[in-house]
Amino acid sequence: MRIVLAEDSALLREGLARLLAEEGHEVVAAVASADELVTAVERHRPDVVVTDVRMPPTNTDDGLRSALEIRRRWPATAVLVLSQYVERRYATRLLADRPEGVGYLLKDRVAQVDDFLDALDRVAAGATALDPEVVRRVLAGAEPADPLSRLTARERDVLHHMAQGHTNATIAERLHVSQSAVEKHINTIFDKLDLSQTSGYSRRVLAVLRYLGV
């Protein structure tokens, strides 16, 4: 796939570019600021953008704002955002409008190469990929009155993996249960979150958005 990479740390930027190239991807541009990122996407029209949240010129949320602009101007471009810390509001802003083809990972996850590449592939395919730590913290912070409190521990496990963009088959493999069991859990989750009768939207996506508080 064709990738534009945005990271202000030269060492990490070069390391990511080398890793992606070794995996057969084409890094069409590797830039160090949010402004350069938008310009590079406009020029190259990549399949995926991989960007840090905190980027020059202000080193606050410039990378995130550029990612949102890219999603608005070039909807077909998938975006995988990297962050040093768990920032729930950043994940929420990314997912609020159109969660397909969006990922949010902690930078530490990059060191786990297989997980990073798996998230990249899922985002490029139009799925949603959230860092497990983001999912854990959001679920841990659910209020008692929240519909999420109705879920069993196993249903929360299933929802945890759904939020990372895994298919039913992959969830079954990771939880060591049958695929039919996963499907039953998911249907129960939809029931408990009052999504069973929802039409016109992906219930899977709505379930993920529900516990993110979007």
Sorted by sequence, the CB contacts under 8 Å of residue 14 that are 6+ apart come out as 30
Q: How high is the pLDDT of residue 141?
A: 53
For 188-209, the pLDDT digits (tens) are 888 888 786 655 447 787 787 7
Give the chain's mean pLDDT: 85
Tallying the residues shown for the chain, one arrives at 214
Does 78 map to a domain? Answer: yes
Of the chain, the percentage scoring pLDDT greater than 70 comes to 87
Of the chain, the percentage scoring pLDDT greater than 90 comes to 46
Does 195 map to a domain? Answer: yes
Domain count within the chain: 2
Angle between helical axes of 153-163 and 132-140 (0-180°, round to 10): 140
Q: Are residues 204 and 101 in the same domain?
A: no
Q: Are residues 127 and 167 in the same domain?
A: no
Q: Are residues 92 and 24 in the same domain?
A: yes
Q: Are residues 124 and 149 in the same domain?
A: no
- Find the helix or strand (DSSP H, E) in which 129 lies: strand 128-130
Does 55 map to a domain? Answer: yes
Does 137 map to a domain? Answer: no
Expressed in angstroms, the distance from the first to the final Cα of the chain is 30
**Percentages of the chain per state (helix, strand, coil), in multiples of 5:** 55, 15, 30
Task: Say if pTM beats, i.e. exceeds, 0.75.
Answer: no
The answer to whether the beta carbons of residues 128 and 100 sit under 8 Å apart is yes
Longest dimension (CA), the chain: 50
For 167-195, the pLDDT digits (tens) are 899 999 999 999 999 999 998 888 888 78
**Has residue 69 got a pLDDT over 50?**
yes
Q: Are residues 148 and 89 in the same domain?
A: no
For 19-38, the pLDDT digits (tens) are 999 999 999 999 999 999 99
**Has residue 96 got a pLDDT over 80?**
no
Does 136 map to a domain? Answer: no
- Residue bearing the bigger pLDDT, 42 or 87: 42
Domain that holds residue 8: 2-131
**Has residue 100 got a pLDDT over 50?**
yes
Sheet holding 78-83, edge to edge: 26-31, 2-6, 48-52, 78-83, 102-106, 128-130
Q: Are residues 37 and 107 in the same domain?
A: yes
For 6-23, the pLDDT digits (tens) are 999 998 999 999 999 999
Q: Are residues 49 and 151 in the same domain?
A: no
> What span, in angstroms and rounded, lies between the C-alpha atoms of 171 and 53?
29
Q: How high is the pLDDT of residue 110?
A: 84
| Residue among 112, 110, 113 at smallest CA distance from 11 | 110
CATH of the domain at 94: 3.40.50.2300
